[in-house]
Amino acid sequence: MLVNPTLYKIQQLRLHTMAAAFKEQLESPTITCLSFEERLGLLIDAEVSARENRRLQQRLRKARLHQSACIEDIDYHSPRHLDKPLLATLTHCQWVPSHHNILIVGPCGTGKTFLACALAHKSCLSGYTSLYCRVGRLLSELQLGKGDGQYSKRMTELAKTDVLILDDFGLSPLTEDHQRDLLEILDDRHDKRSTIVTSQVPVKLWHDCIGNETLADAILDRLVHNSYRVEIKGESMRKARSHIGKDKNSLKEEKNPIHCW
């Protein structure tokens, strides 16, 4: 067998991982113990795994998730009243092909963004595309896009993404243009894609946050009725983990700890 021409042809087919695995097989003294079918299967498995990993990395890179979060790192011990059975259901990602939305509400610092990014990360692992956006920044970018010709391209990207995170909804008032753009985004995605929305504002007050009664009805109709709701309670986790504000005595104790045996 002419090894070098075979390797060259494999690389010409852009099967680079398979070519590398083939070289490893040639250098392995025990590989002859395997049948031709087994060796071929190992080569194919190596190439398929490499391609899947590359696609996954590409999805994660395009998702631009705000936090490096995964389902396994969700903290159920902090007193946030997380609905563990519901989250366990969501980790299976069936909500994505079913085109359901997820609404995550709770006070500032309780982990809404982390949870949204963890669910989006899981969807990337399951083969779906994701994209993280802060609502205020996204709507401002869309306004600028109307002037530089990028609006249609951006809207197409938002419409085609399997899981879209709209983070921090309701932090600032929406102009009429913002309201219409938000409606366009959700209308393009309704019953076709899934959207995760995080907010400090309870869902029952979202209508008032939007402002325009007619547009608010249309927006919430496309967002709320086919959604899972995750309500987080408790104090800010940032505050709980911060050392600022400790009294001088506690700081002295940290510098000179008393060991009890």
pLDDT attached to residue 252: 45
In a domain, 259, yes or no: no
Q: Which residues contact 180 (CB under 8 A, 6 or more apart)?
A: 215
Written as six digits, the tokens of 49 are: 């795994």
In a domain, 248, yes or no: no
Q: In the structure encoding, which two tokens stand for residue 121, read together? A: 């990360």
One domain for residues 55 and 167 = no
Q: Are 58 and 178 contained in the same domain? A: no
> In this structure, are 111 and 225 located in the same domain?
yes
Domain assignment present for residue 198? The answer is yes
Residue 10 and residue 100 share a domain: no
Question: Are 80 and 39 part of one and the same domain?
Answer: no
Sign of the Cα torsion 68, 71, 73, 74 reads positive
Average pLDDT along the chain, 261 residues, taken 10 residues at a time = 77 88 87 87 90 92 92 83 90 96 91 94 96 95 91 95 95 91 95 96 91 92 93 72 50 41 33
Nearest Cα to 195, choosing from 226, 150, 217, 171? 226
Asked whether residue 258 is domain-assigned, the answer is: no
Range of the domain at 21: 3-62
Nearest residue to 110 (alpha-carbon basis) of 15, 5, 232, 22:
232
Identity at 158, one-letter amino acid code:
L
- Final residue in a domain of this structure, among 21, 36, 62: 62
The per-residue pLDDT for 238 is: 61
Q: What is the pLDDT of residue 241?
A: 59
Does a structural domain hold residue 51?
yes
Structure tokens at 75: 């903290």
- DSSP structure string for 224-261: TTTEEEEE--SS-HHHHH--TT--HHHHHHHHSPPP--
Same-domain status, 35 and 111: no
CATH number at residue 229: 3.40.50.300
The full DSSP string for 174-196 is PPHHHHHHHHHHHHHHTTTSEEE
Q: Helical H runs in the chain? A: 3-12, 16-27, 36-63, 84-90, 112-125, 135-148, 151-160, 176-189, 206-210, 213-223, 237-241, 248-255
Rounded Cα distance, 191 and 102, in Å: 13
Total domain count, the chain: 2
Instruction: Answer whether residue 36 is part of any domain.
Output: yes
In this structure, is the dihedral angle defined by the CA atoms of residues 70, 64, 190 and 205, taken in order, positive or negative?
A: positive
CA angle 36, 40, 41 (to 5 degrees): 115
Give domain status of residue 245, yes or no.
no
What is the pTM (predicted TM-score) of this model?
0.80
User: Do 44 and 93 lie in a common domain?
Assistant: no
Question: Do 119 and 167 reside in the same domain of the chain?
Answer: yes
Same domain assignment for residues 115 and 217: yes
Amino acid at 179: Q
**pLDDT value of position 2:** 58
Provide the pLDDT for residue 248: 44
Dist CA 167 CA 164 (whole Å): 9
